[in-house]
């Protein structure tokens, strides 16, 4: 995928740290390893990776700039493929970060940002809550995401952020279970989504509006890519 840059790009200073750590729940891991069906898992995850490869560098009113995941992030999260962009609007002033990953269920269903961000000096500010988002925002089907504010620890030179995150088995129905490792037992793969917005000034309503707008314009592109890969697979199978 090409990287899109322009004079309006927020530059390196706007990159929002997204890290991940892995914690295993022994019994669940055992169930997944023995009964998942690795061939099916690998095939479906490969198709999911193709979907992410079709996502555009621009979507709706948003310009983007590519953000690389580190090798350690990829390894720790079991990520097969990812789409990670700093996004901004040339008009309207909205800025944020979108990260969409697909990968192994047992790793990708591990710790949410409430743990991950602590590793980069951000701590939960208030309570993380599951929020229901309407079909209009979620690309045609009502969904649920976790939402939380994070603030820098004392002495850490980082901006506070507002974050949405959640998981999906099929890319259309988004869930935010309290214990995702248990909720997604048996899933051959998962998508994991983060939408992050700078929270400086803590004008919370504005941050939520920006994140909702990103979702509203990004998810239809994602769904179109899912449909395209499915159609191509059907043609291949028919031949």
3-state DSSP of 170-225: CCCCEECCCCHHHHCCCCCCEEEEEEEEECCCCCHHHHHHHHHHHHHHHHHHHHHH
Arithmetic mean of pLDDT, 225-239 = 86
- The yes-or-no verdict on residue 24 having pLDDT over 60 is no
pLDDT digits (tens, 9 = 90+) for 69-115: 888 888 888 899 999 999 999 887 789 999 999 998 888 888 677 77
- The yes-or-no verdict on residue 19 having pLDDT over 70 is no
Provide the sign of the torsion angle of the four alpha carbons 67, 188, 222, 149, taken in this order: negative
What local confidence, expressed as pLDDT, does residue 3 receive? 40
7 vs 233 pLDDT, higher one: 233
pLDDT digits (tens, 9 = 90+) for 109-155: 886 777 777 777 888 999 999 999 999 999 999 999 999 999 988 88
Confidence category of residue 1, pLDDT binned at 50, 70, 90: very low
Of 165, 118, 120, the C-alpha closest to 17 is 120
CB 204: neighbour CB atoms within 10 A?
14
Contact 100, 193 (CB under 8 A): yes
CA-CA distance, 115 to 178, in Å (whole number)?
13
CB 4: neighbour CB atoms within 10 A?
16
What local confidence, expressed as pLDDT, does residue 111 receive? 66
SS3 at position 6: coil
Specify the range with the lowest mean pLDDT, choosing from 70-84, 109-123, 188-202, 216-230.
109-123
Arithmetic mean of pLDDT, 223-236 = 91
- The yes-or-no verdict on residue 15 having pLDDT over 60 is no
Average pLDDT along the chain: 81
161 vs 30 pLDDT, higher one: 161
What local confidence, expressed as pLDDT, does residue 10 receive? 58
CA-CA distance, 51 to 189, in Å (whole number)?
13
CA-CA distance, 56 to 2, in Å (whole number)?
9
Contact 138, 215 (CB under 8 A): yes
> What kind and span of H or E run contains 40?
helix 38-53
- The yes-or-no verdict on residue 169 having pLDDT over 70 is yes
Please tell me the pTM assigned to this model.
0.80
């Amino acid at each position: 995928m090409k990287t899109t840059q322009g004079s309006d790009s927020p530059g390196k200073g706007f990159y929002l740290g997204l890290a991940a750590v892995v914690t295993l729940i022994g019994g669940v891991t055992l169930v997944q390893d023995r009964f998942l069906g690795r061939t099916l898992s690998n095939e479906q995850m490969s198709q999911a990776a193709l979907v992410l490869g079709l996502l555009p560098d621009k979507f709706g009113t948003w310009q983007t700039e590519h953000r690389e995941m580190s090798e350690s992030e990829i390894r720790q999260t079991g990520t097969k493929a990812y789409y990670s962009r700093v996004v901004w609007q040339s008009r309207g002033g909205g800025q944020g970060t979108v990260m969409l990953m697909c990968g192994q269920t047992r790793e990708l269903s591990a710790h949410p940002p409430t743990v991950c961000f602590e590793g980069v000096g951000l701590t939960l500010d208030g309570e993380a809550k599951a929020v229901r988002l309407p079909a209009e925002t979620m690309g045609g089907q009502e969904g649920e995401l976790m939402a939380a504010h994070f603030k820098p620890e004392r002495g850490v030179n980082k901006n506070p952020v507002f974050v949405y995150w959640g998981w999906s088995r099929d890319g259309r129905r988004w869930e935010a279970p309290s214990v995702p490792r248990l909720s997604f037992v048996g899933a051959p793969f998962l998508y994991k989504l983060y939408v992050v917005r700078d929270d400086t000034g803590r004008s919370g309503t504005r941050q939520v509006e920006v994140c909702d707008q990103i979702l509203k314009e990004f998810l239809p592109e994602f769904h179109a890519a899912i449909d395209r890969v499915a159609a191509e697979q059907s043609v291949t199978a028919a031949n």
